[in-house]
Structure 1
Amino acid sequence: MPRKYIRTNTARPRTTWSDEQLMEVVAKVQTGEISKRVAHRRYNVPPRITKRRITCGNFKKGALGPEGILGRVNETRLVAHTHRLSVVGSAPDRSTVRTLAFRFAEKLGIKHPFSAATEKALFAWLHSFLDRNPELSVRQAEGLSLSRAQGMNREDARRFFELLDEALTKNGLMEKPSCIFSMDETGVQLLNKPSKVVTRKVAKMYMY
């Protein structure tokens, strides 16, 4: 399991101010209405935070804790890449995501504790990665054969309906809809059970 820090000192809460309060504090300090120490007593915003926001001009609270081994920007890129793979029907499983993270870190020259023997990120990293990116989840994919995926194109679909029209006309069924039965191969799936994949929570995944 990933190493997750559990704060024991709850007597002094962290980041109790809102973005709006921070903007108000910075504005009042800049105009000289109050000092940084007065702002700290009144709004519970530490003077160093006020000074930093005045210097950098950023009034948004950052996330607590480290960014992760890859960093937030690179993790966002990895999430986007995972989504692109899902869109084309090749959603990565957990092992593949760990491999992608390892190769990503190696290519960018990022120092990491990943396993060079397996060329994969650690399981602890994967759990933390999913915690930091709640739009991703581990889901069970549905089976879809490659031939069926390739067969769903405009030309094959057109040919199918031409053959259907020909069969209905030849057998005199165009005016007898009660004699037409629609059937499929549900329950006759010949594919192996697909593995669980990492994808966005709203996505419906099929594995070829």
Structure 2
Amino acid sequence: MRLKQIHPKKAVKRLKQYNKEMMLKAFDAVKNNKTPVDRAARLFDVPAQTLRDCVLGKVGIKSSWGKTSLFTSNEEESLVNYLEDLAKVGYGLNRSQLNVLATEMAIKLGKLNQGKSLSDKWYYAFLKRWDHRLKVIKPRGLTSTRVSALRQEVVTAYFADLNMVLTENCLQFKPHLIYNLDETGLQPEHRPSKVIAGKSSGKIQAVTSPNSSTTTLIACINAAGTALPPFYVFKGKLRNDELLKGAALNSAYEMSDSDIMKWAIEHNVILFVLPPRASHALQPLDVGCFAPFKACYYSECNLFMAKQRGQIITRYEIAALSGKAYLKSMTPSNIIAAFKKCGIFPFDSSVVPEELLFPSRSFPKKKISEAEESSPTMQELLSQKMMDTAPKVKSPKVRSKKPKLGGKCITSAVVQEVEEYELSRKKPSQFSETFMC
């Protein structure tokens, strides 16, 4: 039997990792301290032959170190500032967009010929040079309505009204009386977690339940770290106590909504509505509780699907699975930290970070100057003249504006205003019209 000949592996020579400062110290030791080249090379861990060439003048010690970059340091710093500003306002650039931008700038500055483009090699070298200021991260998606709603003036007015309500009702040092209530949707179709599979496996699939209907879970917590039992709103009209089978202790449910504002006033509960579309920064449940709750809920769904193979999650299992996740996630430490992060208790009006307010600057409010209001243009005057000579058209019906509840305390006057608006929207029936005639 012929044995396979084993060839010795070639030794790979590794280049010494050194920088310009190390070479300058070694060069200074040779020139000023009369240290031999080989000893200085060993002391400062630099190549002996390169140091010898610098001492003999074959290589300039002050010559350019490494490859020269396409842009100067000032130009690259301007580009870094531009990238930082774009990321702050929510319009950061990715790798391909940065390459296109840098190519356009290089062509305009005469550093690159027309038709050529920068490659990923320049991109990675650029990030390595500026790794002390730049990094690649995945941003959190945020809708434009939420971005435009979270402005500095909105946050300032909200905290001013909140402080007034807390002061008038002597609630600054009563965390057990400050509650936060919010709702979240629960679907049977959960997000599968990572699984262990063979290396030769291709695409791995995870069995989930069909998304038949959404169940609403209403959570209520206070600043002392206590969470009330969950309240469910199931889709349908007929009550069925089997829906709460296996749920957390003292859980309740309903099949329809109810008028919470009247109930709160009758039971001496002060309602303070948060500014609209700003819950991601100002609401404790959204800031620090619902994310771990959803993670625990998806984990419970994964365990259920793994144990009950061939079965699916229906609305009859929602309460049991979410109840376990509710008890695991709504801990006192999470709740207290959420209230503190939102600046509610302890009260802190400067708790909202600047990075959350920066994107709203991309949506400036349109302001009409006094000059525009006082001096109309010729086109506006001619249009008004045309309207004066045109046939009169019946003016449209003026509709009452819907009262805004965000960012203020709900009082009896506000409830009356909402009731008047709802009555104005209701159309009289055909029977009542005939009777009135």
Q: Structure 1-normalised TM-score?
A: 0.54
Alignment of 1:63-82 (within 5 A): 64=66, 66-70=67-71, 74-82=75-83
**Alpha carbons of structure 1 residues 81 and 163: separation in structure 2 relative to 1, 3 Å:** closer
**What residue in structure 1 maps to residue 26 of structure 2?**
21
Secondary structure in structure 2 of the residue aligned to 1:127: helix
Q: Kindly state the Cα deviation for residue 73 of structure 1 after the two structures are TM-superposed.
A: 5.5
Q: Which runs of 5+ in 2 are unaligned?
A: 1-10, 42-47, 182-282, 292-353, 360-437
- Paired with 2:53 and 2:85, the residues of 1 have a C-alpha distance of 41
**Aligned twin of 2:186:** none
Q: Which amino acid aligns with 1:82?
A: L
For CA contacts below 8 A with separation 6 or more, give which structure has more relative contact order. 1
- Aligned pairs (5 A) from 1:42-191: 43=41, 44=48, 45-50=50-55, 51=57, 52-53=60-61, 56=62, 62=65, 64=66, 66-70=67-71, 74-111=75-112, 121-135=118-132, 136-150=134-148, 151-153=150-152, 155-164=153-162, 174=171, 177-183=175-181, 184=283, 186=286
Tell whether the 8 Å contact from 2:171 to 2:178 is kept in structure 1 after alignment. no
Amino acid in structure 2 at the alignment position of 1:92? L
Instruction: Say what the alpha-carbon RMSD is for the aligned residues.
Output: 4.4
User: For the residues of structure 2 that align with 1:179 and 1:42, how far apart are their CA atoms?
Assistant: 73
Tell me the distance in 1 between the aligned counterparts of 2:120 and 2:164: 57
* Kept after mapping to 1: 8 A contact 2:30/2:40: no
Please tell me whether Structure 1 or Structure 2 has the larger radius of gyration of its CA atoms. Answer: 2
The residue type equivalent to 2:154 in the other structure is: D
Shift of 1:97: 1.3
Are the counterparts in 1 of residues 171 and 177 from structure 2 also a CA contact under 8 Å?
no
Deviation at 1:102, TM superposition (A): 0.9
SS of residue paired to 1:10: coil
Amino acid aligned to 1:122:
S
Amino acid at match of 1:137: K
- 1:11 & 1:146 partners in 2: Cα distance? 52
CA contact (8 A) 1:115 1:122 kept: no
Number of equivalent positions:
166
Letter in 2 for 1:24: A
Percent sequence identity over matched residues? 20
Deviations 1:116-155, CA, capped at 9 Å, x for gaps = 5xxx6323432333344333322111234445455331x3
Q: Taking structure 1 as reference, are residues 14 and 140 closer, same or farther at Cα in structure 2, changes over 3 Å only?
A: closer
